[in-house]
A and B are shown apart, each in its own frame.
Chain A
Amino acid sequence: MPHKTFFWFIFPTGLAMLLFIGLPIVSSFFQSLHIENQQILMEVENCDPFGCTTNVRVDVEATEKLKEENPLGRFNGIGTYVDRNHLAFDEIGEAWNSSSSMGEFKDTVLNLPFYKALLFTLTFCFTVTPPVIFLGFIVALSINTLAKSIKGLIVFGTILPMIVTPLIGSLVLFWMIDSQGIIGASIQILFDDPNLSLKASSNLTWITLIIYGIWHNTPFAFVVFYAALQTVPQDPIEAAYIDGASRFQRVRYIVIPHLYPVATFIMLICLMDNFRVFEPIIGFSAEGVAQSLSWMIYQDLRNENKMLFGSAGATSMLTILGIAILLTPVLIRTWKEFRTER
Chain B
Amino acid sequence: MTSGAFAGSHSPCGPTEGSINILANEFNTYRIFMDEVKSCAGSDVDFSVTHSVDHNKLQVAALSANPSEFSAKLVTNGSITPLMNDGLLRPLDDLIAKYNPNLNDNQKITIDGKIYAVAFMANAQHLWYRESILDELGIAVPSTYEEVIAAAQKIKDSGKMANPYAGAFKSGWNLGQEFVNMYLGHGGEFFKSGTAQPNVNNEKGVAALNVIKSLTELSNPDFLTQDTNAVKEEWESGNVALMHVWNSGASSLLDDEGDQAIRADTRLAPSPSVGGGSIPATTLWWDGIAIATNTSDENAEASFRALVGAASSAELANEYADATVWLIKDYKGGNTAGPVVDAATRGASPYPSFPHMSLLHGALSSELVEFLQGNESAEKALADVEAAYIAKATEQGFL
Q: Which residues of A contact B (CB under 8 A)?
A: 35-39, 41, 44-50, 52, 55-58, 60-61, 64, 73-74, 76, 80, 83-85, 91, 111, 113, 178-180, 194-195, 197, 199-202, 285, 287-289, 291, 299, 302-308, 310-311
Query: What is the minimal beta-carbon distance from B27 to any residue of chain A, in angstroms?
Result: 19
Of the 9-residue stretches B204-212, B297-305, B382-390, which lies at the interface with chain A? B382-390
A35 and B398 CA atoms in complex are apart in Å by 11
Of the 9-residue stretches B43-51, B256-264, B270-278, B364-372, which lies at the interface with chain A? B364-372
With A44-B112, A47-B108 known as contacts, the answer to whether A304 contacts B358 (CB < 8 A) is yes
The reply on B321 being an interface residue by CB < 8 A is no
Q: Assuming A202-B375, A303-B366, what are 19 further A-B pairs, CB within 8 angstroms?
A: A35-B396, A36-B395, A38-B397, A48-B109, A57-B353, A60-B85, A60-B87, A76-B395, A111-B376, A199-B222, A199-B224, A201-B373, A202-B373, A288-B225, A288-B366, A302-B57, A303-B365, A304-B392, A306-B396
Query: What is the minimal beta-carbon distance from A79 to any residue of chain B, in angstroms?
Result: 8
A52 and B87 CA atoms in complex are apart in Å by 21
Q: Mark B115-150, 1 if CB is under 8 A from A, else 0.
A: 000010010000000000000000000000000000
Interchain CB contact under 8 A, A35 and B286: no
| Closest Cβ neighbor of B110 among chain A residues | A47
Query: What is the minimal beta-carbon distance from B172 to any residue of chain A, in angstroms?
Result: 6
Identify the interface centre among A45, A55, A195, A304: most chain B CB within 10 Å of its CB: A304
With A84-B390, A85-B388, A199-B222 known as contacts, the answer to whether A58 contacts B395 (CB < 8 A) is no
Q: Which chain B residues border A299 with CB–CB below 8 Å?
A: 366
| Closest Cβ neighbor of B349 among chain A residues | A50
Q: Which chain B residues border A58 with CB–CB below 8 Å?
A: 84-86, 355
Q: Which chain B residues border A195 with CB–CB below 8 Å?
A: 162, 221
The reply on B171 being an interface residue by CB < 8 A is yes
Q: Which chain A residues border B350 with CB–CB below 8 Å?
A: 48, 50
Interchain CB contact under 8 A, B369 and A289: yes
Query: Total A-B pairs in contact (CB under 8 Å)?
Result: 168
Q: Which chain B residues border A83 with CB–CB below 8 Å?
A: 391, 394-395
Q: How many residues of B are counted as interface, with CB atoms below 8 angstroms from the partner's CB atoms? A: 66
| Closest Cβ neighbor of B88 among chain A residues | A60
Q: Which chain A residues border B171 with CB–CB below 8 Å?
A: 285, 287-288
Interchain CB contact under 8 A, A50 and B222: no
Q: Which residues of B contact A (CB under 8 A)?
A: 54, 56-57, 59-61, 77, 79, 81-82, 84-87, 106-113, 119, 122, 162, 170-172, 175, 220-225, 237, 284, 286, 327, 344, 350, 353-355, 358-359, 362, 365-366, 369-370, 373, 375-376, 380, 384, 387-388, 390-392, 394-398
Q: Which chain A residues border B170 with CB–CB below 8 Å?
A: 285
Q: Which chain A residues border B384 with CB–CB below 8 Å?
A: 111
Q: Which chain B residues border A60 with CB–CB below 8 Å?
A: 84-87
| Closest Cβ neighbor of B367 among chain A residues | A113
Q: Which chain A residues border B87 with CB–CB below 8 Å?
A: 60-61, 64
Interchain CB contact under 8 A, A35 and B394: yes
With A57-B355, A80-B395, A84-B391 known as contacts, the answer to whether A200 contacts B224 (CB < 8 A) is yes
Interchain CB contact under 8 A, B359 and A200: no
Interchain CB contact under 8 A, B353 and A305: no
Q: Which chain B residues border A50 with CB–CB below 8 Å?
A: 284, 286, 344, 350
With A49-B119, A64-B87 known as contacts, the answer to whether A194 contacts B162 (CB < 8 A) is yes
